A and B are shown apart, each in its own frame.
Chain A
Amino acid sequence: MLERLRQSLAFRLAIQYSLVFALVAGSLFAVLYWELAGALEARDRAAVERLAVQLGRAYDAGGAGALRAELNSNASPEVRSYFVRVIDQTNTTLFASVPQDWIQTQVQSLPLPGDWGITATRQIHTIRIPQDALRDYAIAMASLADGSVLQVGRSTDSRAVLLRPLRRAFAGVGGIALVLSVAVGTILAWRSTRPLRLVSETARRIVETGDLAARVPETPGGGELALLVRQFNTLFEKNSVHVRVLRETLDNLAHDLRTPLARLRGTAELALNDGGNPEESRSALADCIDQTDRLLHVIETLLDISAAESGALRLNCERLDLRTLIERAADLYREVAEEKKIAVILELPAPAEVEADAVRLGQAVNNLLDNALKYTPEDGKVTLAASADSGGAVLTVTDNGPGVPFAEREAIFRRLYRGDASRSQRGLGLGLSLVKAIVESHHGTVSVDDAPGGGARFTIRLKSSAGGTPALL
């Protein structure tokens, strides 16, 4: 469980965002701290410097007495908290006033900052000397007219101490916020990545149990994950349809191969048991060859369909007029149509040019015509038409036979599908699926609907440039 949490995308996302959050908050605090500390120091320094200027003026005017008077005249308790001393150039203390809470000896031992830069103009230097962990000295120095130096100082709370609550608050609140952000972030991310886990869970179930009906529960909305879930469900749906069709095809194939094989075996067995009569044996052998040819033909057509569907069928595309293919097909079937007294009518008013493989597309047209002739009763009518369409061409084969029931209009293009009407007919149930595979390998479409006035109408639509190589699936 812990390992799973550690590897989980939600947790890693939460950790990453929390780290970014901590970094930003930390920098913000550092800037704030710096500014605040600066402001505190500036305030101390301004007060000390102001007093230094004031006392310096008094000393310059009337010496130590005036300084004392100035100090005493200023009754504010704040001023009393200042340490004031004057030292001459030999570092001898000329005057000292020490706040009551200071210990006297400390005045003597108070370090003298080395580099204070005495110049002609009164320059004030402020320095900060740490006293102990809790308190600092803020000391201003001013050079006086007689060459001695006035020091005004004050013990202040150390910045470190002043800012300690702030640091504590930051550490406390920041820490809690960080922990919370990891926890809440993990939960939120965990919740919003739920569709991902559902997808992977569903995929795993399909793989493990073969349950093709499994779907991911869909979430409303148009977010990426909702979209992902919907796409996956579409994929699962398509897959299950493919698998179902494949199974049906295999079932039909097994059935279609079993019948001629059983007949083949029966014929051979009979001939074997008959014994002797060479004439009958020869006839039985000829029967066997017939059955074998039929089987071979089924298999070859299936291979052709597979090749066309998978894009492995090589197309020799050239610019051609659909009228040529129709005329050729009509010519090929002329006698067959005549035998059934079916009138084959060509409606070819204008060129209908496409880029296509003449042999393969011709095969498709032949199959459609063959189909139409098969299902049209005697004295019927089959119309072949071609016309140019916007950006392509349309070819129709219309008969006045029984038509195709609405429910079967997709199924008849499936491999080995035999509609009720076609069971009595010779054929394999492969012709139309070959048509579909060929047309689709040309990036076209084939469909069937009702002809005006009854009968079936098959329509092939092709783009004018099908492209030489079919797209690989």
Chain B
Amino acid sequence: MRVLVVEDDSKIASFVVRGLKESGFAVDHAADGEAGLALAACTDFDAAIVDIMLPRLDGISLVKRLRAGGSTVPVVFLSAKGSVDDRVRGLQSGADDYLTKPFAFSELLARVRALIRRATQSPEATRLVAGDVTLDLVTREVARAGLKVELQPREFSLLAFLMRHAGRPVSKTMILEHVWDYSFDPQTNVVDVVVSRLRAKIDPDRTRIETLRNVGYVFRPHA
């Protein structure tokens, strides 16, 4: 897995590059937009992390040019601007995700992994299986160890999201975005509340949905 990091702030860049390397990625770093575009043109990356405010060529133009050139590499924008406006503008330019500084590295890592997985995945099956848990997206039936489990709509969406990313951590913000469709953090404990309800129904022995402190949750399928 090869990731391109385009970031002019040397501190953030070194912290992201080091973190990605420690997580097993091969990383290339460019300190300005043009260098980033040149790197992206001659190397096949699995994902790109691009700052919006860049010298010489800003992140949004960079991604627009990449997309115009036919590249489908998943892109995560980094930006100090947290307003919804910037977020929408960023996503419209062709990026796949958006993260506001300051961010936790674990959050960035979870998002990059999710993007890479989505990009490499074959069209999604209507039936998700993770260990002894099965979930049917069409009939909305859920079973654990062959026994049917009744879930409320939100619990169902949450489980589906966790199972799609089985084995990989997802952050609370990612859950809020995908399950609640909230693009900003409403600063509530609703996620914890629904997770604990889901656990009660699907994971009574508390071995499947694991809480990762400071990161979020991870679904661990039973072997």
Residue ranges of A at the interface with B (Cβ–Cβ < 8 Å): 283, 286, 289-290, 293, 296-297, 301, 314, 316, 331-336, 339, 359, 363, 366, 370
Contacts and interface: CB of A to CB of B under 8 A. Distances in A.
B197 A290 contact: no
Nearest to B184: A359
Contacts of A314: 83, 85
B85 A316 contact: yes
Contacts of A331: 180
B122 interface: no
Nearest to A428: B187
A289 B102 contact: no
Contacts of B194: 335
B190 A316 contact: no
Question: Interface residues of B: mostly helix, strand, loop or mixed?
Answer: loop
A424 to B, nearest CB: 16
| CB-CB nearest 10 A-B residue pairs | A286-B213, A289-B214, A335-B193, A359-B84, A335-B194, A366-B186, A336-B193, A286-B214, A336-B190, A339-B193
A278 to B, nearest CB: 15
A290 B189 contact: no
A216 B16 CA distance: 60
A451 B191 CA distance: 30
Nearest to B88: A316
A332 B188 contact: yes
A363 B83 CA distance: 13
24 contacts: A286-B213, A289-B104, A289-B213, A290-B213, A293-B214, A297-B187, A301-B187, A314-B83, A316-B84, A333-B188, A334-B154, A335-B154, A335-B190, A335-B193, A335-B197, A336-B188, A336-B189, A336-B193, A339-B193, A359-B84, A359-B183, A359-B184, A370-B187, A370-B188
A31 B183 CA distance: 88
Nearest to A363: B186
Given A297-B187, A335-B193, 9 more contacts: A289-B213, A332-B180, A332-B182, A332-B186, A334-B154, A335-B197, A359-B84, A366-B188, A370-B188
Contacts of B186: 332, 363, 366
A292 to B, nearest CB: 9
Interface string B40-59: 00000000000000000000
Nearest to A431: B187
A333 B214 contact: no
B84 to A, nearest CB: 5
A314 B88 CA distance: 14
A290 B106 CA distance: 13
A296 B214 CA distance: 13
Interface in B128-187: 154, 180, 182-184, 186-187
Interface string B52-78: 000000000000000000000000000
Nearest to A296: B102
Interface string B106-127: 0000000000000000000000
A197 B65 CA distance: 67
A333 B186 CA distance: 10
Nearest to A434: B187
Contacts of B104: 289, 293
Nearest to A307: B83
A279 to B, nearest CB: 13
A336 B187 CA distance: 13
Contacts of A290: 213-214
Contacts of A333: 188, 190
Interface string B180-217: 10111011111001100100000000000000011000
B28 to A, nearest CB: 28
Contacts of B190: 332-333, 335-336
Contacts of A363: 184, 186
A336 B214 CA distance: 21
B176 to A, nearest CB: 9
Contacts of A301: 187
B194 to A, nearest CB: 5
Contacts of B197: 335
B192 to A, nearest CB: 9
B191 to A, nearest CB: 9
